[in-house]
Amino acid sequence: MERLDRITIDAARMNGEPCIRDLRLAVRRVLEALATYPDRAELKREYPELEDEDIRQALIFAAALVDDRVLPLPLPG
């Protein structure tokens, strides 16, 4: 697994929620912002402290948490 050195977890900060570089910027918020601002330039205007590597590591962190299961889809009709 790749080293995610920009994801920090501190019980005394943001209730232990995973954050970016000890900032008060939660990984969850970065993911929400990516969905809200698909244009990276606009995202960076809104969050100027956010760097490309922060975004990349937030996505890797989130992907690692998703359970890799195959779910059956209902048949049409």
What CATH number has the domain bearing residue 40? 1.10.10.10
With respect to residue 75, please indicate whether it lies within any of the assigned structural domains: no
Q: Looking at residues 5-33, what average pLDDT do you find?
A: 95
Q: Is 19 helix (H, G, I), strand (E, B) or coil?
A: strand
Domain assignment of residue 16, given as a range: 7-64
With respect to residue 32, please indicate whether it lies within any of the assigned structural domains: yes
- In the structure, what pLDDT confidence band is assigned to residue 76 with cuts at 50, 70 and 90? confident
Q: Is 7 helix (H, G, I), strand (E, B) or coil?
A: strand
> What's the token pair of residue 74?
């209902």
CA-to-CA distance for 8 and 10, rounded, in angstroms? 7
Instruction: Pick left, alpha or beta for residue 40 (phi over 0 → left; psi -120 to 50 → alpha; otherwise beta).
Output: alpha
What value does the mean pLDDT of the chain take? 90
The total domain count for the chain is 1
With respect to residue 1, please indicate whether it lies within any of the assigned structural domains: no
Contact criterion met (CB below 8 Å) for 27 and 58: yes
With respect to residue 71, please indicate whether it lies within any of the assigned structural domains: no
Note the pLDDT of residue 3: 87
